[in-house]
Amino acid sequence: MSGVPGAGDPGTLRPPGGTHGRAKQTVFRRGSRSRYPGCSAGGAAQLIRAVIDTNIIIRAVIKPQGTVGPVLRLLRNGDYILLYSDPLLTELADVLNRPRIRDKYGLSTEDIETVLALILLRGEAVTIIRRIEVCRDPKENMILEAAVAGGADWIVSRDDDLLTIREFEGIPVVVPAEFLRRLEEDS
């Protein structure tokens, strides 16, 4: 794979938790930081803030023309704010760097660095403020923790443990198709 489609030129890598470039923060479209997407407290609406399950990002990397491929393109374009925590970013890097994944999908070190740099550049690092133990899999709990810490509008996943919750502390859990449909409606 020569470069990750949708990732663009993210610039210099920065360590998680540092100062990052930001996506545009205010646009004239629906979506907000509130628990009720589409509602904002006066003025122009804010960009949708979402935590996206790492398996969705991985699928977007290995199959950019697939149904979840637009996730990276829309992130690069600044159409939403991806919230991530250090544990989520570490999990993503670990999975993408597995020899089995790299070999099967032809991922180079540059491809992986490009995706991680895109997230650092366009995403927003959040600090976990409390531990959550709702799902059987601790990795799914990391997603909930990041969503709560970052004031997410959406949690995007295909994981059954998360989807059966449907909503966590006012944050809807949706499949990628629903998230992408909402982003299209808001643009």
* Residue 80 in domain: yes
Q: Has residue 88 got a pLDDT over 80? A: yes
- Dihedral angle sign, alpha carbons of residues 157, 158, 162, 164: positive
CATH number for 173: 3.40.50.1010
Q: What is the mean pLDDT of the chain?
A: 79
* Residue 97 in domain: yes
Residue 50 in contact with residue 81, Cβ under 8 Å? yes
pLDDT in tens, 161-175: 888 888 788 999 999
Tokens of residue 38, six digits: 């589409």
Q: Has residue 155 got a pLDDT over 70? A: yes
pLDDT in tens, 20-50: 333 333 222 223 333 334 444 444 568 999 9
Domain count, the chain: 1
Q: Has residue 74 got a pLDDT over 70? A: yes
**How many residues in the chain?**
187
Residue 137 banded pLDDT, cuts 50, 70, 90: confident
Mean pLDDT across 134-148? 84
Beta bridge partners of 82: 50
> Which residues span the domain enclosing 69?
49-186
* Residue 29 in domain: no
* Residue 150 in domain: yes
pTM score, whole prediction? 0.75
Mean pLDDT across 4-30? 36
Residues near 3 by Cβ (< 8 Å), separated by ≥ 6?
110, 111, 114
